[in-house]
Structure 1
Amino acid sequence: MSLPAFQRVRRGAVEVEDASTGKLGPEFQDAGCLLVSEVHLFFSRPGEASEWDGLSAVTQKTKEYVDEFSRFKDQSTIREVRALLIKHAAQPDLDGEMGDSKGLQLSQFEMAQLANLSVTDIDEARTLIPTYVPVSDASLASKDDAQLESLLNELAAIWKFA
């Protein structure tokens, strides 16, 4: 059973927004993806806890969720994870085209999912992380096994000692 898609009419054309297919609408077109731990860090800034007392129900639920599921609690570990993921990010070359880099050419979505889901196995990563991300050829199935396994091992080592 899938959730109904939201339709928006723009300039006479109907745009279908459906998160299950990766179509989130124009306001998310250039948005990056945050790790759950990064959102947790935002909500736990020192000296600002009193700010969160009068939150809307949605914001309060979001705060409770990230408090529960944040894998990394300290800023230095979160930075280390983000830096590791950025090494494997899809980077445009000087012409703005996606060039051949030494990394896995991961999209923002894939990077966030690898960190948030705490995936440790290549097959598990390929099964759990959908292939509809907006970067062409961004399926984990097309990624180099050795590089992906190396990245998953490095993330697992960070999780183990975090």
Structure 2
Amino acid sequence: MATRRPRRLNGIIEDVDASILKLGPEFEVRQVSNEGIETPLIALNLSEARLLMIAAMRQRKRELNGQEYDDIEIEEDELSSNEIVRKTQEYLTTFSRFRDEETVSAVEHLLKSPENANLHPFEIAQLGSLSCEDSEEAKTLIPSLLNKKSDQELQALLDNLRRFG
């Protein structure tokens, strides 16, 4: 079930195969920093992004208040008065599947297990963000999974993810 759609490139219509993951150089599995250091690509699912943003905002709030790291506990909804940051937090809170750090860690461990080693970090992030009911839905939303996982393997992974949500 490869999804194809025509694409115009320099006036020429090119056939694009959506089952092949073509995201551009910013999504190469190996990244090279400005200092020339090679590191693996980091792609976050929405739950991970939410936790990272909360931690960063808590740290920044503590620094602004001149308090030690463990002195206070700041509620998530009082972290920012900046409208853009607040709206981003609302979006992440609404659409993140997993709420606490332990669950996010368990999901990451599952998605990065050896049987999923052939998955691209972007695919892992999408599986962690989307609430796909079955393998057909997952392969429709993430067409690059077509040639990487059988329906049975993907369904078992989705069922395991659902246990955490």
Task: Give the TM-score normalised by the residue count of structure 2.
Answer: 0.59
Q: Quick one: which of 64, 73, 80 aligns to 1:53?
A: 80
Aligned to 1:39: 49
Amino acid at match of 2:150: D
Alpha-carbon distance between aligned partners in 1 of 2:58 and 2:43, rounded to the nearest angstrom: 26
Greater gyration radius: 2
Does residue 1:125 correspond to 2:138, yes or no? yes
Contact 2:48 2:104 in 1 (8 A): yes
Q: 1:140, CA displacement in angstroms?
A: 3.0
Secondary structure of 2:80's counterpart equals: helix
Aligned to 2:129: 116
Contact 1:35 1:112 in 2 (8 A): yes
Secondary structure of 2:160's counterpart equals: helix
Contact 1:104 1:143 in 2 (8 A): no
Runs of 4+ in 1 over 6 A off after TM superposition: none
Q: 1:49, CA displacement in angstroms?
A: 7.3
Amino acid at match of 1:105: N
Contact 1:122 1:148 in 2 (8 A): yes
RMSD of aligned residue pairs (Cα, Å): 2.8
Contact 1:126 1:140 in 2 (8 A): yes
Count of matched residue positions in the alignment of Structure 1 and Structure 2: 117
| Aligned counterparts, 1:45-84, within 5 A | 45=55, 47-48=58-59, 50=61, 52-53=79-80, 55=82, 57=84, 59-84=85-110
Alpha-carbon distance between aligned partners in 2 of 1:60 and 1:130, rounded to the nearest angstrom: 32
Higher relative contact order (CA 8 A, sep 6+): 2
Alpha-carbon distance between aligned partners in 2 of 1:68 and 1:49, rounded to the nearest angstrom: 23
| Aligned counterparts, 1:94-105, within 5 A | 102-103=115-116, 105=118
- Between structures 1 and 2, the one with greater strand share: 2
Contact 2:46 2:92 in 1 (8 A): yes
Amino acid at match of 1:44: I
Aligned to 1:6: none
Residue segments in structure 2 that go unaligned for 5+ positions in a row = 1-21, 32-40, 65-78
Change (3 A) 1:148 1:66: same
Task: Give the TM-score normalised by the residue count of structure 1.
Answer: 0.60
Contact 2:119 2:148 in 1 (8 A): no
Q: 1:39, CA displacement in angstroms?
A: 1.1
Residue segments in structure 1 that go unaligned for 5+ positions in a row = 1-20, 89-101, 132-138
Q: 1:141, CA displacement in angstroms?
A: 3.8
Q: 1:125, CA displacement in angstroms?
A: 0.5
Secondary structure of 1:73's counterpart equals: coil
Aligned to 1:143: 149
